[in-house]
Chain A
Amino acid sequence: MTDTSSQIAFVQKEPIPESPPPSTAAGPVKWMRDNLFSGWLNSLLTLAALWAIYVILSGTLPWLLNGVWNADSLAECREILNGKTGACFAVLAERWNQLLFGFKYPADLYWRPTLAFVLLFVAVAPVLFFDLPRKLLMFTALYPFIAFYLIWGGTIWSPIFALAGFAAWYMVFERLGKNSFVQGFFGGAAVAAIVWGIGSFITGAIAPEEPFLQAVPSRDLGGFMLNMMLGVTCVSLSIPIGIVLALGRQSDMPLIKIICVVFIEFIRGVPLITLLFVASVMLAYFFPPDSTVDLFLRVVIMITVFSAAYIAEVIRGGLAALPTGQYEAADSLGLDYPQAMRLIILPQALKISIPGIVNVAVGLFKDTTLVSVISMFDLLGMIRGPILASTEWNGVYWELLGFAALLFFVVCYGISQYSQWLERRLATDHR
């Protein structure tokens, strides 16, 4: 008995000292052996992959490197290349402005959208990077009106009255919203509508014949500028609308819930192209007979509505993923519904929804090229229409479409990288 018990009983008297890991081979040779040539199958696949890369590069590199940048037509390109493989990038150089701004925007006014584009970065910076000083948000709030004035020009009173309407809305909301969110919101909307009504009347009366910035009609917008404008406007509008729809779908009030469900399900069940045709042809029936609602505005409404429905579903997923304990904790502390949503529920639900929202945003941005179908000359519309149809450049498909792909890729990759940074930045729960 004593023997066995002495075998079971065990006391570790000293701590086991730390020791270095065993010295296995390190460096590139080991890395290659581990990752590329770890077995005969992997070695074979590695060699096959290398061969595929060689074939692709040997095909494309001469084409890229031999590219001709200075020529006036495809025929001239071919002359310069003289039978060698090579791209005709001259089309990009020659039609650069058309690709970016469309073919009707006055050439001497290119500085205006360019300035608006540069200011865009200043405006979105405080929204995207919330470590920046919050005061910059003032500029973000002003930016839509500045950008509108720069791109469309015309009388300065339209954006000023538009701004005044929103300012009045905000002030009424500040005053009434303390008691009741709904009262503040709709009271503000009513006041804003009055300001806009008076504003449009006054603008009509005092607008000068020769405005300081020459007016540019919407149909003259085009090129990548149009894609950017549609993308930025629709993404920034559809996220708040999507949030409202998602909350509405979760509402206890049956009427609100039904409206939201029907809206979301209907919009999601219709192809975007259909909506765009509705925008270009039929939407006019829904507005007062003698009002001419701008085509750009109609398209913005349709794309926004479309992506808002998708974003609403993404956010609903985020809301559903939150444990009910979060709602209960917010309730038990006496927070009312708007406070609980704003401070507790939405920050967490939106964080969960980031990948989905970015997915929709990237898709939306690429879908802005669909407006070329309803004869708006966005980047793709420009390429398919005026440029490829011209006698000089008929047949330069690869270079033009490759360029379009590159532009979209840069923007979409940027969005996706930002979202990954944002997810890391917001990860507070399991560090």
Chain B
Amino acid sequence: MAEASQMKVSDEIAITIDGMNKWYGSFHVLRDINLTVNRGERIVICGPSGSGKSTLIRCINALEEHQQGKIIVDGTELSSDLKNVDKIRSEVGMCFQHFNLFPHLSILDNCTLAPIWVRKTPKKEAEERAMHFLEKVKIPEQADKFPGQLSGGQQQRVAIARSLCMMPRIMLFDEPTSALDPEMIKEVLDTMIELAEEGMTMLCVTHEMGFARQVANRVIFMDAGQIVEQNEPEEFFNNPKSERTQLFLSQILGH
């Protein structure tokens, strides 16, 4: 279990967030966020609801606009230049709480659409790659079905495969298991663990503390729009420094 967390973290920097601030109207959602993510790092972000953790990772692929500070992803700075935004988005995969598969397209088409249209991959190659990743998430037999015919866990795995088909260098997960039945959480987490073991750079907003202990090499705790505490998982769970973190942990690990 400690093995995974010591794998392949390089010195190369994947994401730099420097003094980032964001407001919704006059509401200050993210306050002076500073974060550096190395390539191959697996970060779990947790915190109470409304603490800005989803907003933070949505800023990384520009689904949300930040108003102050710098975000540099893979050497490209996020600015209002649409070319940069599209470039970053094609490098950064994202999985959503509600999967957001395209319901009018088959599973296979869901996976091949972006490679064909954004990366200009030939159709045949895109389909081969899609099947490769669908096998990886263990649902190749569903390729011709439509998202509505799959269970939640299967849909989330398709969503992961869809992101992987773009060959991203970074994966963002926004509460990937919160909308799933308990039985299905494990199959999604297993897929994510496998991905982590292959050295994918991952930022994951989740409340799955078991997952955090097992794969993360850093846990970040956010509250009221700021990063309150970050540490290695062992230290974070066993020996939280701030009072707010202690309270949060006692509440979610209470039972």
Residues of A within 8 A of B (CB): 323, 325-326, 328-329, 331-336, 339, 343-344, 347-348, 351, 426, 428-431
Cβ of A332: which chain B residues have Cβ within 8 Å of it? 61, 63, 89, 92-94, 96, 163
Asked if A339 meets B118 with Cβ closer than 8 Å, knowing A329-B100, A428-B146, the reply is yes
CB<8 Å pairs between A and B, sample of 25: A323-B100, A326-B100, A328-B96, A331-B62, A331-B89, A332-B63, A332-B93, A332-B96, A332-B163, A333-B113, A333-B118, A333-B166, A334-B87, A334-B90, A334-B114, A334-B118, A335-B113, A335-B117, A347-B104, A428-B103, A428-B104, A429-B103, A430-B148, A431-B146, A431-B148
Q: Is B71 an interface residue (CB 8 A)?
A: no
Judged by a CB distance under 8 angstroms, whether B86 is at the interface is yes
Besides A336-B82, A347-B104, 9 other A-B contacts (C-beta < 8 A): A325-B98, A332-B63, A332-B96, A333-B162, A335-B113, A339-B117, A343-B117, A348-B102, A429-B148
Minimum C-beta distance from A309 to chain B (A):
27
Q: Does B205 contact A (CB under 8 A)?
A: no
Closest residue to A328 on the B side, CB-wise?
B63
* Cβ-neighbour of A426 out of B101, B104, B147 (below 8 A): B104
**In the complex, A329 Cα to B95 Cα: how many Å?**
8
Instruction: Give Cα distance in the complex from A343 to B101, angstroms.
Output: 13
Contacting pair B63 A344 (CB below 8 A): no
Q: How far, in whole Å, are A339 and B117 apart by their CA atoms in the complex?
A: 8
Is B89 a contact of A333 with CB atoms below 8 Å? yes
In contact, B166 and A329 (Cβ under 8 angstroms): no
Q: State in angstroms the CA–CA spacing of A283 and B84 once bound together.
A: 47
Alpha-carbon separation in the docked complex, A429 to B148 (Å): 5
**Cα separation A328 to B100 with both chains bound (whole Å):** 8
- The dominant DSSP class at the A interface is helix
Chain B 201-235 per-residue mask, 1 if CB under 8 angstroms from chain A, else 0 = 00000000000000000000000000000000000
**Residues of B contacting A: mostly:** mixed
Asked if B149 is at the interface (CB within 8 A of a chain A CB), the reply is yes
Chain B's closest residue to A336 (CB) is: B86
Q: Which residues from chain A contact B101 at a C-beta distance below 8 Å?
A: 329
Q: B89, B162, B163: which has the most chain A beta carbons within 10 Å?
A: B89
Number of interface residues of B (CB under 8 A): 29
Most chain-B CB neighbours within 10 Å: which of A335, A426, A428?
A428
Chain B contacts of A428 at CB under 8 A? Answer: 103-104, 146, 148
Residues of A within 8 A of B63 (CB): 328, 331-332
Which residue of B has the minimal Cβ distance to A348? B104
Q: Give the residue of B100, B148, B149, B163 whose beta carbon is less than 8 angstroms from that of A325.
A: B100
Nearest Cβ distance between residue A53 and chain B, in whole angstroms?
43
A348 touches B148 (CB 8 A): no
B77 to chain A, nearest CB (A): 17
Please name all residues of chain B whose beta carbon is closer than 8 Å to the beta carbon of A348 when the two chains form the complex.
102-104
By beta carbon, the residue of chain B nearest A337 is B82
A428 and B145 alpha carbons, distance in the complex (Å) = 9
The reply to whether A429 and B104 form a contact with Cβ atoms under 8 Å apart is: yes
Q: Which residues of B contact A323 (CB under 8 A)?
A: 98, 100
A335 to B114, CA, bound (A): 7
| A333 in complex: contacting residue of B62, B90, B104, B148, CB < 8 Å | B90
Nearest 7 interchain pairs by C-beta = A334-B90, A329-B100, A325-B100, A333-B114, A429-B103, A332-B94, A334-B89
A344 to B103, CA, bound (A): 9
Report how far A343 CA is from B94 CA in the complex, Å: 19
Residues of B within 8 A of A351 (CB): 104
| A335 touching B118, Cβ below 8 Å | yes
Q: Which chain A residues lie closer than 8 Å to B148 at the CB level?
A: 428-431
Docked-complex contact A334 and B166, CB < 8 angstroms:
yes
Q: Which of B63, B101, B102 has the most CB of A within 10 A?
A: B102
Q: Are A334 and B86 in contact (CB under 8 A)?
A: yes
Interface residues of B in 111-160 (CB under 8 A from A): 113-114, 117-118, 146-149
- Look across to chain A and name the residue whose beta carbon is closest to the beta carbon of B106: A428
* Alpha-carbon gap, A431 to B149, bound state (A): 7
* Residues of chain A with a CB closer than 8 A to B117's CB: 335, 339, 343
Which residue of chain A is the closest to B94 with respect to CB atoms? A332
Residues of A within 8 A of B104 (CB): 347-348, 351, 426, 428-429
Q: Which residues does chain A contribute within 8 Å of B146, judged by CB atoms?
A: 428-429, 431
Residue of B nearest to A347 (CB): B104
